[in-house]
Amino acid sequence: MVLSENLEKRRLSYNERAKLTSNKLAIRLFNLMEEKQSNLALANDITDTKKFLELTEKVADEIIVLKTHIDILEDFNMDIINKIEELANKHKFLIFEDRKFADIGNTVKLQYSSGIYKISKWAHIVNAHSLVGDGLIEGLKECIKDSEDSRGCLLLAQMSSSNNLIDKKYTLRTIEFAEKYQDFVIGFIGNGSNPKELKKLASLAKPNFLIFTPGINISDTGKLGQNYATPQKAIKSGSDIIIVGSGIYKSEDPLKSAKEYRKLGWKAYIKRTK
């Protein structure tokens, strides 16, 4: 049966999963995880630019993805992007702007490529709400036609926040969009905080798609609607990349915490492949 077949194939190693897709960015990410032995993404939600860069550099060797909310930086300028790119090249991580696009194709096209942030120039990965329909995906795709570096998108198939309105039908329709645009959509945001829900997504989505999961913390219970589970539970339930924010940046020793999350995530992945 297809559902259990998907789950079974999700237990393959990242290197083997890379062979199931022709999307260059997905292949790069699968192989990077194996190379760095990490499936950890840092959600760097620090608003002070200097501190943001310091934290990024400190944990750069532990992560394979840096997730940004570029519009929360207090003193943004393009030089910050140059510095992030330098760190990304030196320490080998990809940049994911958590922009959650949600508008008609023409507007997201402008939001992706223009304004002060020019996201399409530097973010390897962006994400988008599927709510709007696939015109949004077409709009985003138009911006990266001539991009030298590979670009990809994650669709929000689930969210980690309480009482969000995404139901199973919405998740299924989101997966259909992803299948239609496999040249650009590399995977999904899945709900890291809810293993049962996450497992549903992992069984429905083909194993060429990566599942990124926010809602990961080993010591907090969440606030303002956020919910958490452990890296072990998330990876066991089908997550490929754990996204950790405050668990690292609010820690007294962010490097130590990043190492710990990395170790927990990687160990759970190795266990899953056995």
Residues that bind ligand 5BU (CB under 6 A): 43, 45, 69, 98, 156, 159-161, 189, 214-215, 217, 226, 243-247
- Tell the smallest beta-carbon distance from residue 240 to ligand 5BU (Å): 15
DSSP labels, 124-186: SEEEE-GGG-THHHHHHHHHTTT-SS--EEEEES--SSTT----HHHHHHHHHHHHHTTTTEE
115 three-state secondary structure: coil
Closer of 22 and 219 to ligand 5BU (Cβ): 219
- Tell the smallest beta-carbon distance from residue 22 to ligand 5BU (Å): 26
- Tell the smallest beta-carbon distance from residue 8 to ligand 5BU (Å): 26
Closer of 24 and 173 to ligand 5BU (Cβ): 173
Closer of 204 and 248 to ligand 5BU (Cβ): 248
DSSP labels, 189-216: E--TT-HHHHHHHHHHS-TTSEEEE--B
CB 245 within 8 A of CB 43: yes
Amino acid at 58: K
Q: How far apart are CA 21 and CA 240, in angstroms?
A: 15
CB 98 within 8 A of CB 68: yes
93 three-state secondary structure: coil
CB 125 within 8 A of CB 65: yes
Task: Answer yes or no: 109 catalytic.
Answer: no
Q: How far apart are CA 235 and CA 265, in angstroms?
A: 7
Residue nearest to ligand 5BU (CB): 245
Closer of 45 and 103 to ligand 5BU (Cβ): 45
- Tell the smallest beta-carbon distance from residue 244 to ligand 5BU (Å): 5
- Tell the smallest beta-carbon distance from residue 101 to ligand 5BU (Å): 12
**Which of the residues 83, 100, 121, 199 is marked catalytic?**
100
Closer of 105 and 192 to ligand 5BU (Cβ): 192
Which sequence positions are flagged as catalytic? 100
